[in-house]
Each structure stands twice: as structure tokens, then as C-alpha cells.
Structure 1
Amino acid sequence: MGIHLIKMPDIGEGIAEVELVEWHVQPGDTVVEDQVLADVMTDKATVQVPSPVNGTVESLGGKVGEVMAVGSALIRLQVEGAGNMAAASAKPARQPEAAPAVATHSDQAQAVAAVQPAHAAEAKPHAPTDKPGAAPRASASSGTTVVPAAARVQGEKPLASPAVRKRAWDLGIELQYVPATGSGGQITHHDLDGYLARGAKGTTAGSHIAAYAPREDEQQVAVIGLRRKIAEKMQESKRRIPHFTYVEEVDVTELEALRQRLNAQWGAERGKLTILPLLARAMVLALRDFPQINARYDDEAGVVTRYGAVHLGIAAQTESGLMVPVLRHAETLDLWACSAEIARLAEAARTGRAVRDELSGSTITLTSLGALGGVVSTPVINHPEVAIVGVNRMVERPVILGGAVVARKMMNLSSSFDHRVVDGMHAAEFIQKIRGYLECPAMLFVE
């Protein structure tokens, strides 16, 4: 048997270090060639690192959340034969020349994948070694009875994914008392099912623990991966940009009627339209008169770059966190082409297939919380842009129109601007311009 050392691969694009966001293996696991060992993150792209050989995991080179340099030791495998560490067996392990670089699968290293969903780690559960004092464990999915385990020792925290923790919270289950059958001792959804099936702490099957019982539990969640990138981005934006927010009320009754009419006539053939393509078109037209808002500000160089092309960032919420795929050259797209591209980008972001070029280079951003849009919001500018337009919830309410009280569909636009570059008057005029297009949607098609 020999040792094969796998180093952190060079992802390319001049990146010197990456963050380790997830391990797919643990010491003692057997791996095969091309099996995914770990997920690492650079900017907003997650890259899977495969194994180039068959072997058994001897040790891991870092902890989840750790930032590691390219070329550093990622994982050690026991392999048949000499392995790539044979030449270094007589030298101290700390000498860098003892570990020649390992060729990696470049096509795999370039592939972008999302952070694995909560259920992914449960797809191939391993039976972990029972801890002292714990009762025997059995898989809930095997159909056998799960023997209740003793409470974990004081200070020992149960391991579970965020999805499992949320479900347990909703069910009123204390994870401290749930036997774990997942990889590395993690509690899985199957474990929760088995716990409910036998009755939680003696209660009837599926019943909740007392809803009003006092709780003393705490949970510490490491800010890693995409969540860390989002936190750093938002902190940098708020630290460097003096934001101001302008809110305007818009009557979108006619716009909504047009959208429904277009969908009724063309929806089956061209696809259903949401309000976003109409908003995108209104922004494209309004930016013709306000080029200083379609810009990026390099505050270190003291240079504002104004763009003729509208590369519209579309803020999208994913299971991994907020991402901003970019609708490139929005000025060239009609409503249906714009709608199709927005849908494609949103799906790519949600599934982790968005490539780096699709997540960078925006010149202005459009953000919407959809039905959860609230009345007013204060969106944070996507640095180094100078403006972001936020869409709030559409509601029907009474409005005085022509001396009569009528029902109208109303919606607020809550938009933020960089006060170093955009004056308050220009920001208000820009939003009023958008409002004019939305309240008289025929103007969207008049050149």
C-alpha cells in the first residue's frame, strides 16, 4: 500500500486560494476514480474536486470553511502500489518538494456545480461507529426498528444539515435525542422519520413535543461558502457606498392588463410573461436619458465608467443564497426573448450551473421579492454599480381617479443610488421616467 496525495487544484483565472465548503468523504471511506471528494468555492462559483485514483481516505487536509491555497494538501489516500508519495518516503513530510504535483481532471475542475442540497449527503449513508454510551443504531430506511439512543454527552452537538434542523424545529423534535445513521454521524430525514414512527420520548407517533415547553438550546452556524461571499459583498457595498433610497408609487393597472392580454394571445406559443421583462424594457428606455445611472464606479481610481450596453443584473434567491445572474445586452431583447433569458438564468443559478461570466459584469441591477415584496424596501447596491431598482408587491386598493373611488393595481418601486455619482434629483427623474413607461405601457413600444 502507498500514499497518494491530492493537492488543491488550480481552478484557473489567476485564483490563488479557494474556500473549502463541503467534504463528500471522511477518513476510512473507500473512493473510486472520478468520485467527487470535496466542493470548493471561488467567488460565487462552486467547483467539485474529483479523485484521480481508487483508494481509501487516510486524512483530510482542511476543515469546512477554511480558505486554502492552491497547491496545498487537500486529501491523502491509501492506494494499491507505491502511490505518488513513494519518492518522498525518506524525507520529512513537511518538505514541500516531497509531494510532486498531481495531475487533476481539468474538465472537472472547470465544471461549476451548486453546493449540494441537504439530501445529497444522505444518498449513501454510512453506519458510523457508535459513541460510548449511545444505543445501537439502525437505518430508518431499512424497515427495522430504531432503538432509542441515550442523550448525547454534555456539550456534544448533534450533526444535521440546515434542512433537517428546520424540519426538526417545525416538528418540535430535540435533535439531542435522535439517533444518527448518516455519514459522519449526521442526523438524516430518515432518522427523523424513524424517531416519529416510534413516538418522541414516549408520546404518540407523530405527535409534537409540548409546544410551550421552555427551550435552552443554541445553534452556532458557520458562515461559509456562498453565505460568506454574500456577507463580504454586502459589507463592502455598505461600507464603501453612501446609499440613498427613493420610493415611488406606480399604478400598474394598465401594465398588468397588457401582460394578461399578451399571455392570453401569445402565451401558448411564445411562453408566459411575468412583469420582469416589462420592467426591464422600461429601465432600458429610461437609461437612454440617464447614462450616469447605467455605470460602475471605481472609487479607488476615481473613475466612473458609463455603459451604452445594459447588462442587467437580476437578483435571484437560491437555496445557497442570493445570486445575481446577468441579462446581457438587455437593450437588444424583445419581451419574450427577455423573459426566456431571465428564466434560463434563474434556473442556472438555482441549480448551480451558472458559469462565472453569467454572474459578473452587470451595470445595473433589478431586484424583486415577488409576492413577498412588502410595501417598501431599501435594496443594497451591487458594488461597483451605482444603482439598483427594487420591485415591491403589487396590491389592488382604492384610488381616487377622476373624482371617483376606483380599484387600481398599485406597486412601489424602492430604488437605491450611490450619492457620490447620482444626484437625488436625477434619481427621482429616472424613477419617474420608468413610472411613465409602466403607467402608459404603449410607450414601451414607441421608438
Structure 2
Amino acid sequence: MTEFKLPDIGEGIVECEVVEWRVAEGDAIEEDQPVVEVMTDKALVEITAPETGRVTRLHVAKGEIAKVHAPLFAYEAEGSAGAPDEARSSATTATAAPEAQAAPSSPDGASAPSGQTKDFILPDIGEGIVECEVVEWRVAEGETLAEDQPVVDVMTDKAMVEITAPEAGRVTRLHVAKGEIAKVHAPLFAYVPEDAAAEGGASAQAASRGGTSTAQTPKAETPEPRSVSPGGTGKGPHGRIPASPAVRRLVREHELRLEDISGSGKDGRVLKGDVMAFVEGDGTRSAAAPARPAPEATPAATEPGEVRVEPLRGVRAAMARQMVASASTIPHFQYGEEIDVTELLALRERLKPRAEARDTRLTLMPFFMKAMALAIQDFPLLNSRLNDAADEIHYLPSCNIGMAVDGKAGLMVPNVKGVEHRSLLDVAHEIQRLTGEAREGRVAQADLRDGTISISNIGALGGTYAAPIINAPEVAIVAIGKSQWLPRFDAAGDVTRRAIMTVTWAGDHRLLDGGTIARFCNAWKGYLEEPETMLLELS
């Protein structure tokens, strides 16, 4: 019998109410068949069956509260009708491939009893996300796990997500290789819980003392452990090179192989000192391990003229779909302007020490955002959106200004919520947080949702002009070019040195016209060219 545990059904949701059971105890179920409807504090969610079988028990009655990660219902998988009726988690492996039917070894060499290996099921990691790409495994098969230890980094079409271990134990299998696609609600990796491994080892030792085997099948002969001389590299008593998870991670960070490093510990265990000695050139390679070729000796990966193919996935794939939809469904028009930011640069220089004293980096972006939020008060059409039928204008209650960030996962547009109510220092602090997270590809879903207007600071990379594409369903976006010191005439007709910044707007021509953009840009420009005037508008 398998226990189905209520998965993560939304960010920050820890419980929900059972609204309606679609099945009863004893009913047969098919894979993906609706089983129960639950109500969170945000929406009604339908839970489906993970596989074909028969319902044996409903743990939570209609109208009661179900906890995330707690058993919701029990079922008997198809083909296991004669199996013992023991309670197992929904992540327990029901059947195993012939080559994997042998019970995994526990850390002390004893075999873990069958049925104690658990599959970690990839939970819901974002609204509407059904699959993700495995970017990096932080562990290898055979390594031990601590509760909440990072196990794997996966990339959705929105952000990088770090998956952690649900409990302490030992990894027995990685179901999805690096670079491949993992499905939500499908097994991601298998592990033996720490308690189960300890119990398995105790049972094995008790059976050994009693001189009898608890298994019905003949006991396989156990080969004698290989003798490994101190200071040499060996496979150890468990058929693999002994090394702690920390050492294995260090080996991966230096792009080495354990087989190349001589272990000075017991049974040839590779220690941290062995790795560092090898890196520094003091270590010696194992005689059995072939030397790795020097980088210059590596043959070229591709022949001249050969096309290298790389799948479009994750954030870049999402951006491609978003930009195609925006450019093909929204009639864009552009509007350009020059802004004199000489006074703004001087003001920022005066305020920077105060911001740094509060551990905040003060750039020009907080000024751009604050001035925009003030200008929107007089031009609310810039902070609105059309409904799907394009027959209603929805004026948004808050000014959530997005900023395009070029991170390692691709282009992301997190937004600062409620800029009109925040202080300049608060906006700067939030920009600093969002920029750091976006560059690491780890922005929370809440920070990517509900943007109302966007800024693309292409000038930070050196661009002067750009024609940005609107971040739908928003109605406008502005691209900011780099600031340049250029000659300009002052009021007396004399040539003077001024800091000039170019901006280019893109507007949704279904809702905005050139006059609206021009008047709004003039108001925004006024705040930036004379930044002290913003003080008059602050509440």
C-alpha cells in the first residue's frame, strides 16, 4: 500500500481544505484521474492520481484541513494486490528494474531491507510549471545527505530553483541526468533514509549473530573486502573510492577525478589534504588511473564548419515565447528623448555615502523608478493594461516597476512593488536585492509577477539607443542609454559641459498615442533634470 502525500500546491501554502472527494475507499483509479479538490487561500486545486490502482483509505474527510507533505490518501498500485499491507510513503519505489532489485548498501556495508528506498518526487515548483531542466547535481550516488542539504539545481522557464533533501539519508540513484528534463510529480532521485539504513544495519547484524537469514531466497556469498595498502587509491569495501561528500564536492569544483588522486586514509579514503596536494602538484596519480590529457592536447570538439546544436530551455525559452507573443500581438511605437542628468549625478554623489552607511548601493535606477512613479500619478494610463478581449482598460492600484537584469540564467524582469509608497533608500535596497538574485537566476516567483511598467537599462552595458519590446501585458517600456558628457548651450548662449542620457520608449498603440507618451516623458524628465522637485511630491 502506498501513501499519497499532499504535494506543494503553491508558494507559501502549508495547508488547504478538502472540498470534494471524487473517489471513495475501494474505488479503482487511473493515472491522472481527478481524485480530490482542495481549496487553498488562493484558488481551488484539483489533485490527480499518480498511477493506476485502487483507493484503500481517505485520510482527510471532506471539510477538514490537509497539510502539505502529509498523507492525503492511501492506494494500492495496480499489480501489487498481493503485496503486504504496510504503510509506505508515496515516494516509495513500487517496482524496480531487474538490475536494481538488490537492496542498496548502507554506509556500514549492511544491506538495507527492501522497501526502505524512497523516491523523491519533484514537487510543484511554480504556478503552471510542469517540467524543468536539471542544471547541476550537488550530490552523487552513494553520498550521504543531511536534512535540507542542497541536492540539485533545476531551471524552470522562470528561474533557477534549488531542491533540498527532505530528510537525512544516503543517495542511491539519480533518476534524471544533468542537462535532461525532469517532470513535476515524477521521481527525481532515490535515497535510503538515515533511520531505515540504521535499522537495516541492525537487522543484518542480528541475523548474522543468529546464524540464520531472514530472507526466503538463498543468501548470496559476500566477497571478502579488498585489501588496500595505506596511502594507495582503492575501491574500498563497498566497491567505490571512499571519500566524504565534502571531498567529492571539492573534487568536482576543481574538475578532477577521484580515480586520479591517491588516498592517504583508511581503505584508500581520499581526504581533503590529498585533493589539495594534488591540485598544488604535490600529489601523485594512481598507477591504475590514466593521466588526464593536458588541455592543449585535447582534440577539437568540432570539425571546421560543423554546427553546434544547443537546446533552447529555461528562462531563454520563456523569453523567446514572451517576445514573439508581444511583438506579434501588440502594435508597438517608439518615442525618443534626451535627458540632462548633470544635476542628478551630482545629487547621487552627495547621497552615496549615506546609503553606503546603511549597506545600500545607490545607483541612478532608484531615481528613475521614483520619478516614474510620481509621473504616473498624473498619467495613470501608463500604469494600466488591456483585458484579454481588448475592450476594457484596467487601471492598476500599485506602481510595480520592473527592471531587466541580464543574469546567468538569461534575461529576467523582477519588479519593485509599490514604488510610490517607498522611500528612495528603500527602493535602492530592493533593487540591490533583486539584481543579486536575478544574476544568480534565483528570483522568487512573487518578484517576477504583477509588474506594471518596465525599465531596460541598456546603457549599463554601453548602448546609446535601443528599441525595446513591451513586456506584455504591460503597455509601455523604456530603454535607457548610457550617459555621455556632451557640449550644450546654456541660458546665456555659452557652450557648457553637460551629462546627456538618451531614452527610448515603446508604447502599446492600442491604448497609448504619441501625445500621451510625450507628455508623460516630459513629466518624468522634469523630475530627473531637477531632482529636488521630487521632494514636493513625496508624502
TM-score when normalising by structure 1? 0.66
What's 1:57 paired with? 172
Comparing 70-79 and 434-443, the one that deviates more: 70-79
Q: 1:434 to 1:127 in 2, by over 3 A?
A: same
Name the SS of the counterpart of 1:381 in structure 2. coil
Q: 1:50 to 1:334 in 2, by over 3 A?
A: closer
What's 1:422 paired with? 512
- Match for residue 123 of structure 1 among 253, 263, 266: 253
Q: Does the aligned pair in 2 maintain the 1:367–1:391 contact within 8 Å? A: yes
C-alpha distance in structure 1 between counterparts of 2:473 and 2:433, whole Å: 25
Q: Aligned runs of 1:397-436 on 2, under 5 Å?
A: 397-401=486-490, 402-436=492-526
List runs of 5+ in structure 2 lacking aligned partners: 1-102, 104-113, 201-248, 261-273
Amino acid in the other structure paired with 1:123: E
Q: Aligned runs of 1:209-220 on 2, under 5 Å?
A: 216=305, 218-220=307-309
Name the SS of the counterpart of 1:223 in structure 2. coil
Post-superposition Cα deviations, 1:305-347, rounded to whole Å, max 9, x if no partner, equal 2123211112222222222222111111232222222212222
C-alpha distance in structure 1 between counterparts of 2:139 and 2:436, whole Å: 31
Query: How far apart are 1:240 and its partner, in Å?
Result: 2.5
Q: Aligned runs of 1:345-424 on 2, under 5 Å?
A: 345-352=434-441, 354-401=443-490, 402-424=492-514
Q: 1:17 to 1:217 in 2, by over 3 A?
A: same
C-alpha distance in structure 2 between counterparts of 1:121 and 1:23, whole Å: 15
C-alpha distance in structure 1 between counterparts of 2:256 and 2:168, whole Å: 21
Q: 1:375 to 1:15 in 2, by over 3 A?
A: closer
Query: Which structure's relative contact order is higher, taking Cα pairs within 8 Å and 6+ residues apart?
Result: 1
Name the SS of the counterpart of 2:335 in structure 1. strand
C-alpha distance in structure 2 between counterparts of 1:386 and 1:125, whole Å: 47
C-alpha distance in structure 2 between counterparts of 1:121 and 1:301, whole Å: 57
Q: 1:225 to 1:145 in 2, by over 3 A?
A: farther
Q: Does the aligned pair in 2 maintain the 1:286–1:430 contact within 8 Å? A: yes
What's 2:124 paired with? 11
C-alpha distance in structure 2 between counterparts of 1:331 and 1:24, whole Å: 42
Q: Does the aligned pair in 1 maintain the 2:335–2:505 contact within 8 Å? A: yes
Is 1:141 aligned to 2:269, yes or no? no
Amino acid in the other structure paired with 1:141: V
Q: Does the aligned pair in 2 maintain the 1:395–1:411 contact within 8 Å? A: yes
Q: Does the aligned pair in 2 maintain the 1:27–1:60 contact within 8 Å? A: no
C-alpha distance in structure 2 between counterparts of 1:434 and 1:255, whole Å: 13
Query: How far apart are 1:392 and its partner, in Å?
Result: 0.7
What's 1:185 paired with? none
Comparing 26-35 and 342-351, the one that deviates more: 26-35
Count of aligned residue pairs for this structure pair: 345
Amino acid in the other structure paired with 1:294: N
Comparing 24-33 and 13-22, the one that deviates more: 24-33
What's 2:351 paired with? 262
Q: Does the aligned pair in 1 maintain the 2:355–2:362 contact within 8 Å? A: yes
C-alpha distance in structure 2 between counterparts of 1:58 and 1:129, whole Å: 20
C-alpha distance in structure 1 between counterparts of 2:151 and 2:356, whole Å: 44
Q: Does the aligned pair in 1 maintain the 2:341–2:528 contact within 8 Å? A: yes
Query: How far apart are 1:33 and its partner, in Å?
Result: 4.6
Q: 1:399 to 1:370 in 2, by over 3 A?
A: same
Q: Does the aligned pair in 1 maintain the 2:157–2:316 contact within 8 Å? A: no
Name the SS of the counterpart of 2:450 in structure 1. coil
C-alpha distance in structure 2 between counterparts of 1:427 and 1:121, whole Å: 56
C-alpha distance in structure 2 between counterparts of 1:436 and 1:303, whole Å: 31
Query: How far apart are 1:391 and its partner, in Å?
Result: 1.1
C-alpha distance in structure 1 between counterparts of 2:297 and 2:177, whole Å: 38
C-alpha distance in structure 2 between counterparts of 1:399 and 1:354, whole Å: 42
C-alpha distance in structure 1 between counterparts of 2:180 and 2:469, whole Å: 25
Q: Aligned runs of 1:201-350 on 2, under 5 Å?
A: 201=297, 216=305, 218-263=307-352, 266-267=354-355, 269=357, 273-300=362-389, 302-350=391-439
Q: Please, what is the CA RMSD of the aligned residues? A: 3.6
Amino acid in the other structure paired with 1:411: M
Q: Does the aligned pair in 2 maintain the 1:309–1:331 contact within 8 Å? A: yes
C-alpha distance in structure 1 between counterparts of 2:363 and 2:178, whole Å: 43
Q: Aligned runs of 1:60-209 on 2, under 5 Å?
A: 60-61=175-176, 64-66=179-181, 68=183, 70-77=184-191, 122-123=252-253, 127=257, 141=279, 143=281, 144=283, 179=292, 195=294, 200-201=296-297
Name the SS of the counterpart of 1:407 in structure 2. strand
Q: Does the aligned pair in 2 maintain the 1:18–1:40 contact within 8 Å? A: no
Post-superposition Cα deviations, 1:325-375, rounded to whole Å, max 9, x if no partner, equal 221111112322222222122223334553221221111112213432411
Identity of aligned residues (%): 30
C-alpha distance in structure 2 between counterparts of 1:294 and 1:348, whole Å: 25
Amino acid in the other structure paired with 2:501: M
TM-score when normalising by structure 2? 0.56
Name the SS of the counterpart of 2:420 in structure 1. helix
C-alpha distance in structure 1 between counterparts of 2:177 and 2:391, whole Å: 40
Name the SS of the counterpart of 1:392 in structure 2. strand
C-alpha distance in structure 2 between counterparts of 1:239 and 1:5, whole Å: 47
Q: Does the aligned pair in 2 maintain the 1:312–1:330 contact within 8 Å? A: yes
Q: Does the aligned pair in 1 maintain the 2:338–2:503 contact within 8 Å? A: yes
